[in-house]
Structure 1
Amino acid sequence: MSLRIGILGAARIAPAALIKPASAHPDVEVTAIAARSADRAQAFASRHLIPRAHGSYEELLADPDIDAVYNPLPNGLHGRWTRAALEAGKHVLCEKPFTANAAEAREIAALAAASDRVVMEAFHYRYHPLALWVEEIVASGELGTLERVETAVCFPLPKFSDIRYDYGLAGGALMDAGCYAVHMARTFGGGETPTVVSASARLRSPRVDRAMTAELRFPAGHTGRVTCSMWSSSLLKINAKVVGSKGSISVLNPLMPQAYHRVSVRVSGARRTEKFPRRPTYAYQLDAFAAAVLHGEPVKTSAADAVETMTVIDEIYRAAGLPPREPS
């Protein structure tokens, strides 16, 4: 039995996130692509050897030879088309952030819970052995009582016409880069959902952040900080640090460790480093999605988990004096 996936939109991320890992997966086929025009869909299909091209998203969702959809559309459209896919009886792998805001996430999560379909948010880093290892070390108590977790995802995006700066498409640094930082803080901070103590934004336009920093407090008492940007003095900064009463973990590039990574552990004065496989995070993510659909395995980035992340994102925006994003 194979999993047949259709792609909603000819997105730049699709080849790396789905098409390439699917080509190496024995149980997954990318069988169709839909775009806003038939010509665009056909050009993408030809370039990536996808058998069928649809000239609308509705056509793809009506295709009986598709079991699941990958949704890499702009942020503000994630909820709308994940909802439509569920109504069409398809499983969904939805790009991050899951929806425009927490209210929309709760709506989609309720639909997912009422269905027998798999709905998974594409936080690909979460399925890599590096992230699983950090989670296990924190849970083991080796670091002692948690005191602080800090995560940062900053990269340069000076093309200000990019849709990621468009409020109408639920854009902003916190949505695009910061959703990773928030999710990592939750994952590496013991799996809890923090409250937001304070937040500060640097703006590209009146409602759109180009950079954001937020201070967090977790239910167990430890604190946190998330930092993100698409344009700031921190041109490239992707790291995580977890501090406990007995030691700490520092991770360089937990987001895409296949490119490069450095992991350092200090406990009771002793230091060690760890190395992890160079297999892409996207390949591990596809493994998890296929196992969930074909074999009923649970996923770590469920719709319910997405509600928690989007709740923190909304709180950060409010604390920074900005409105949460709205569906497009």
Structure 2
Amino acid sequence: MRVGVIGCAGIAVRRMLPAFAASPDIEIAAVASRDPDKARRVAERFGCRPVHGYGELLERDDVQAVYVPLPAALHAEWTQAALDTGRHVLAEKPVTTDHLRTAELLELAAARDLVLMENVMFVHHRLHGAVRRLLADGAIGELRSLGAAFTIPPLPDGDIRYDRELGGGALADVGIYPLRAALHFLGPGLGLVGARLTRGGGRRVETSGAALLSTPDGVTAQIAFGMEHAYRSSYELWGSEGGITVDRAFTPPADHVPVIGLHRDGKTEEIRLAPHDQVAATVAAFAAAVRSGVRTDPGTTLRQAELLDEIHRSASYGAPVATVGTG
């Protein structure tokens, strides 16, 4: 499958283009940028053709699929353009900044018999399948609650994730990870109970937040996220007879040895798994979906988009708590 890349974002150059290049199922056909020099530099590195302008890439007849790593506010425009020209699409998360638009694009892809896959990579790591099997085997009894968090240190002032017009904000950028974890383990019936968002440092976007969700039968999920914190990437599941904890859950390097903490009867067992490259696994999943014609979990993608919108609409806002001096 010959893939074209629309944009030279950091995640494309650091992670996705190397994974495409290493995949036996994919050939990088072209990379496009609005900056011709940037397109040339990236194309030389990965042995493909540079293209000046995103539209020009979609006019090429040697591109079967596209990867869209643009700022979130531009995803809808260029994902639709790719689908309209008959290309399969791997779009960076979130697919769009509006759940109705996401639904339209998923419907368009289905109508044209094309794959539209959201690039949420951690769900393709074998670690989370192992956790699911523990739950199914009753390792912690009946599931009662989930807690998940993804937080990162502050970004440079000019980072696009602080730009409201480009779809920035902590919820869409880092909050999507714990929210997707909740959906991954608790299912699409998950509903929002309440949420809180905070705009720190005078930003026009939320820089941190938390939400409480619940399934119809009362299993709760508490998620926390932010981009003005110490780094944290974890989730935990607690049941009637024990708990499961996972650290470095969402963005582990390919050589990381995953560890599942299984807590029962006052004891903790560490279950160590073999390293797994979730970027390569994601690329393989996309190629397999195109090859088989089986779309990858569009229901979860849409439910995630709906919940992101619900959190934005219904959340209360607060300023960070000021530190009070003792004088």
Provide the TM-score with structure 2 as the length reference.
0.90
Q: Radius of gyration: which is bigger? A: 2
Q: Which residue of 2 aligns with 1:173?
A: 170
The answer to whether the Cα contact below 8 Å between 2:289 and 2:296 also exists between their aligned partners in 1 is: yes
1:43 aligned partner, one-letter code: R
| Aligned position for 2:86 | 89
Shift of 1:206: 6.4
The equivalent position to 1:211 in structure 2, one of 187, 208, 212, is 208
SS of the equivalent of 2:206 reads strand
Aligned to 2:125: 128
- Contact 1:215–1:224 (CA<8 Å) still a contact in 2? yes
AA in 1 matched with 2:230: L
**SS of the residue 2:307 aligns to:** helix
Instruction: Give 3-state SS (helix, strand or coil) of 2:207's partner.
Output: strand
Alpha-carbon deviation of 1:264? Answer: 0.4
> Using the alignment, how far apart are the partners of 1:287 and 1:183 within structure 2?
20
CA distance in structure 1 between the aligned counterparts of 2:139 and 2:259, rounded to whole angstroms:
19
Could you tell me which residue of structure 1 aligns to residue 16 of structure 2? 18
Q: 1:181: how far off?
A: 1.2
Cα deviation 1:226-258 (Å, max 9, x = unaligned) = 100111xx3111100011112211000111233
1:299 aligns with 296
Match of 2:160 in 1: 163
- Displacement of 1:321 in angstroms is 3.7
Query: In the alignment, is the contact (CA less than 8 A) between 1:256 and 1:280 conserved in 2?
Result: no
**Paired position in structure 2 for 1:40:** 38
CA offset at residue 164 of structure 1?
0.5
2:321 maps to none
Consecutive unaligned residues of structure 1, counting only runs of 5 or more, are 323-328
Separation in 2 of the partners of 1:153 and 1:187?
15
What is the rounded CA distance, in whole Å, between the counterparts of 1:113 and 1:96 in structure 2? 19
Q: Which 5+ residue runs of structure 2 have no aligned equivalent?
A: 318-327
- Give the superposition deviation at 1:269: 4.6
Q: Deviations over 1:97-136 (max 9, x none)?
A: 1210212111111112212111111111100100222223
Query: Offset of 1:49 from its aligned partner?
Result: 2.6
- After TM superposition, list the pairs within 5 Å mapping 1:193-212 onto structure 2: 193-204=189-200, 205=202, 207-212=204-209
- Asked if 2 retains the 8 angstrom alpha-carbon contact of 1:135 and 1:187, the reply is no
**Alpha-carbon distance between aligned partners in 2 of 1:140 and 1:69, rounded to the nearest angstrom:** 39
Partner of 1:325: none
Poorly superposed stretches of 4+, deviation over 6 Å: none
CA contact (8 A) 2:162 2:203 kept: no
Match for 2:151: what amino acid? C
Q: Secondary structure at the match of 1:116?
A: coil
Aligned to 1:29: 27
Aligned equivalent of 2:113, options 91, 112, 116: 116
Q: Distance in 2 between matches of 1:62 and 1:138?
A: 48
Range that drifts further, 117-126 or 138-147:
138-147
Confirm or deny: 8 A CA contact 2:58 2:85 kept in the other structure. Answer: yes
Post-superposition offset of 1:207:
4.4
Question: Secondary structure of the equivalent of 2:172?
Answer: helix
The superposition leaves residues 177-206 of structure 1 with CA deviations (integer Å, 9 ceiling, x where unpaired) of: 001111011112x22342221211120446
**Deviation string for 1:204-230 (max 9, x for gaps)?**
446410001111111231111110011
Which one is further off, 251-260 or 156-165?
Answer: 251-260
Residue of structure 2 equivalent to 1:326? none
- Assess, with a 3 A threshold, how the Cα gap between structure 1 residues 216 and 283 changes in structure 2: closer, same or farther: same
Q: RCO (CA 8 Å, sep 6+): is it higher in 1 or 2?
A: 1
What amino acid is aligned across from residue 116 of structure 1 in structure 2? D
Q: Distance in 1 between matches of 2:82 and 2:305?
A: 20
- Residues 117 and 295 in structure 2, CA contact (< 8 A), matched pair in contact too: no
Tell me, in whole angstroms, the C-alpha distance in 1 between the residues paired with 2:155 and 2:87.
37
TM-score of the two chains, using structure 1 as the length reference: 0.90
Tell me if structure 2 keeps the 8 A contact 1:196–1:319: no
Where does residue 243 of structure 2 map in the other structure? 248
- Secondary structure of the 1:13 match is helix
Superposition CA RMSD, Å = 1.8
Match of 2:151 in 1: 154
